[in-house]
Amino acid sequence: MRTILILIKKEFLQVFRNPLLIGILTVAPMVQFIIFPFCADYEIKVLHIAFIDNDHSTISQDLTHTFNASGYFISHGLVKNKKEAEKMMKHDKIDILVEFPHDFERSLYNNEPTQIAITANAINTMKAGIGTGYVQNIIGDYLNDFAQNNRPPQAPTKVSINISNVYWYNEQMNYKNLIVPGILVILVTLIGCYVTALNLVREKEIGTIEQVNVTPIRRWQFLLGKMIPFWILGISEFIIGLVIMKLVFGITVQGSIPMLLGCTAIYLLVMLGLGFFISSIADNQLQAMFIVLFLFIVFVLLSGLFTPTEGMPEWAHKINYLNPMSFFMNVIKKVVLKGTEVESLRTEFIVLSVMAVVINTGAVVSYKESSK
Amino acid sequence: MNSIEVHDLTKQFGAFTAVNHISFEVREGEIFGFLGANGAGKTTAIKMMSGLLQPTSGTAIIAGYDVRTQSKLIKRNIGYMSQRFSLYNDLTVFENMQLFGTIYKIPRKELKERIHTSLKELDMDQHANTLVEAIPLGWKQKLAFATAILHRPKIVFLDEPTSGVDPIVRREFWKLIYDTASTGVTILVTTHYMDEAEYCNRISIMAEGELKLIGTPDELKKKMAATTINDVFVKFVRR
């Protein structure tokens, strides 16, 4: 017990004497916390648009003006032909091109099917998708009005399109609510996995671990002495994060806070164990960094933080069963946003616990092997 | 009584044999020098004797314990100072000694007294609260030695303790070694400096993983018809 206490003391002394580490642990996450949610905003506020009007009718001109009024679009006016429009798109002058057919107005009055061509620059798929949605929405709205004004109400009209859910999907607050808790997850993961892996590998590099290995200390004592300080640091960061989340973004935890902290504590154990495991297979800090980075990217992409997991293929879902971050992400979503009751977290709780036991056992074993 | 007994000790890393069937004994309280060029296998041999590495074959009885089965007991009874400086640079002198002393389970009060006495002997007591990174290399080496013997081990392994240290500190360091040996502690030391070899009670010369020569400095000089250990080494290498 005394051995573990002195090891914890040693680790804390070292952490607080290392200005770089203090920076990584405090400033970096806070900056990330404050800046990231504003940048990782999927709302598209400016779209450059141009038109090809083969109809030159009142309706097509009127519709063109509606785009200017919407506030989302910067209109580059009428373009003579497709060739010129392509050139503009190639040079990134416009994001979206709308082309009216030459019998557009006549078809509308005769209730005949007609087609408006919407061309989007899909280099940025997100922008193209949302931009096309806006365009469809504006045209849809306009044509609905048109139909109501020019037709008797009983006559059904073919041009009635309703794509209003595009706007709902893009509601600004929605992203922050998801991204901010997601950053909490990233924060805890980085401290758990990255900082501990680098810490242990550093001792290997400078040779201090040899001096420790030659003492009668037991492996688990040494690992515990490393784990507890970073575990405490991780939980503290998480709590600070929750406070910032409340104060800056006004997001309150809907569910049980003790449950949330409990799951975080277990998730941290998984990440600490993973960090130690990595440090035992890596020879230097650079190697450890690459391994952590690789796993981190896979974890984040699969976790559903930036992309919905529902759209992933079956095999990705299967891999996700091994991804602790995706389970923790679920916990965060459920507790922070939905406020679900404790029982519904049973799966996540059990899976994370099992992962913690497995990975830490692996870490102790592989640490033993590596120091033979 | 022998405190180190090594028989046919061998370590292979894949196809490479780092230590090849070495056998020797070291008496209690003896200062035993391990000489040899870089890569001769000295460090590997020391690591096996201190329980850091498992031997491929052969036996080693250290302070009465078998390295294969009783490495924990060996670790409790030996001190070890590695080739490179390996105390924590970002801890103070006192914190380093406290850390290792506590790991060896020296009682709290006793430990404080020992650290105090030890620092006084080193003339470093005013630097107890200085960060280790801020003190000169020579002092660091003396400090590492003092930390390695804080728990009163029966045997101390020193792996090139004086490399890169100035002549004055080297002399002081050897005084520390003599003082420690005089209390009955066995010292096994590796070195590059041939003048230091003269200070040892007995020396051995290793090459290509094998123990080529062993004896007192005088015996070896006579055997090789040389006047200094340096000559012995040069003649041995040319042979």
* pLDDT (mean) for A245-271: 89
Structural domain range at position A139: 47-149
Total count of domains within chain A: 2
Q: Which residues contact A217 (CB under 8 A, 6 or more apart)?
A: A3, B103
Give the separation between CA A296 and CA A289, rounded to whole angstroms. 10
Q: Within this chain, do residues A225 and A307 fall inside the same structural domain, yes or no?
A: yes
For residue A179, being part of any structural domain is answered with yes
For residue A154, being part of any structural domain is answered with no
Amino acid sitting at position B113: E
Q: Which residue of A215, A219, A224, A371 to mutate against B (max B Cβ within 10 Å)?
A: A215
Q: What pLDDT score does A170 carry?
A: 37
For the segment A301-347, what is each residue's pLDDT rounded down to a tens digit? 888 776 767 777 888 888 888 999 989 988 888 888 777 777 888 88
- Mean confidence (pLDDT) of chain B: 91
Q: What pLDDT score does A165 carry?
A: 40
* B84 in contact with A, Cβ within 8 Å: yes
CB contact (8 A) between residue A2 and residue B90: no
For residue A168, being part of any structural domain is answered with no
Q: Within this chain, do residues A110 and A183 fall inside the same structural domain, yes or no?
A: no
B54 → closest Cβ in A13, A14, A372: A372
Provide the residue ranges of all domains of chain B, joining segments of one domain with +: 2-238
Specify which residues B186 forms β-bridges with.
Answer: B155
Q: Within this chain, do residues A200 and A310 fall inside the same structural domain, yes or no?
A: yes
Q: Within this chain, do residues A21 and A35 fall inside the same structural domain, yes or no?
A: yes
Q: Within this chain, do residues A140 and A193 fall inside the same structural domain, yes or no?
A: no
For the segment B150-170, what is each residue's pLDDT rounded down to a tens digit? 999 999 999 989 888 888 989
Lowest mean pLDDT among A156-160, A239-243, A266-270: A156-160
* B52 in contact with A, Cβ within 8 Å: yes
Q: Within this chain, do residues A136 and A193 fall inside the same structural domain, yes or no?
A: no
H helices then E strands: how many in chain A? Answer: 17, 4
* B99 in contact with A, Cβ within 8 Å: yes
CB contact (8 A) between residue B86 and residue A7: no
Specify which residues B214 forms β-bridges with.
Answer: B204
Give the orientation angle of helix B137-148 with respect to helix B167-182, to 10 degrees. Answer: 10
Q: Within this chain, do residues A341 and A242 fall inside the same structural domain, yes or no?
A: yes
Give the separation between CA A320 and CA A19, rounded to whole angstroms. 36
The most confident of the ranges A10-14, A116-120, B137-141 is: A10-14
A6 → closest Cβ in B84, B102, B131: B102
pLDDT above 70: residue A247: yes
For the segment A10-39, what is each residue's pLDDT rounded down to a tens digit? 999 999 998 888 887 778 777 877 777 776
φ/ψ of A170, rounded to 5, equals -105, 15
For residue A89, being part of any structural domain is answered with yes
- CATH, residue A127: 3.40.1710.10
DSSP calls for B221-232: HHHHT-SSHHHH
Of the residues A132, A149, A166, the one at which a domain ends:
A149
Of the residues A131, A149, A167, the one at which a domain ends:
A149
Write the CATH number of the domain with boundaries B2-238: 3.40.50.300
Nearest to B21 by CA among B32, B4, B8, B35: B8
Q: Within this chain, do residues A78 and A29 fall inside the same structural domain, yes or no?
A: no
Write the ipTM: 0.86
* B134 in contact with A, Cβ within 8 Å: no
Q: Within this chain, do residues A218 and A304 fall inside the same structural domain, yes or no?
A: yes
3-state secondary structure of A348: helix
Residue of A nearest to B85 (CA): A207
Q: What pLDDT score does A154 carry?
A: 52
For residue A163, being part of any structural domain is answered with no
CB contact (8 A) between residue B76 and residue A216: yes
For the segment A216-236, what is each residue's pLDDT rounded down to a tens digit? 988 888 889 999 999 999 999
Q: Which residue of B86, B129, B159 to mutate against A (max A Cβ within 10 Å)?
A: B86
For residue A298, being part of any structural domain is answered with yes
CB contact (8 A) between residue A214 and residue B78: yes
For residue A161, being part of any structural domain is answered with no
Q: Which residues contact A31 (CB under 8 A, 6 or more apart)?
A: none
Give the separation between CA A281 and CA B199, rounded to whole angstroms. 42
Straight-line distance from the first to the last Cα atom of chain B, in angstroms, rounded to the nearest whole number: 35
Q: Within this chain, do residues A125 and A93 fall inside the same structural domain, yes or no?
A: yes
CB count in 10 Å sphere of residue A198: 21
The whole-angstrom distance between B93's CA and the closest CA on chain A is 13
Q: Within this chain, do residues A323 and A353 fall inside the same structural domain, yes or no?
A: yes
Q: Within this chain, do residues A10 and A73 fall inside the same structural domain, yes or no?
A: no
CB contact (8 A) between residue B72 and residue A216: yes
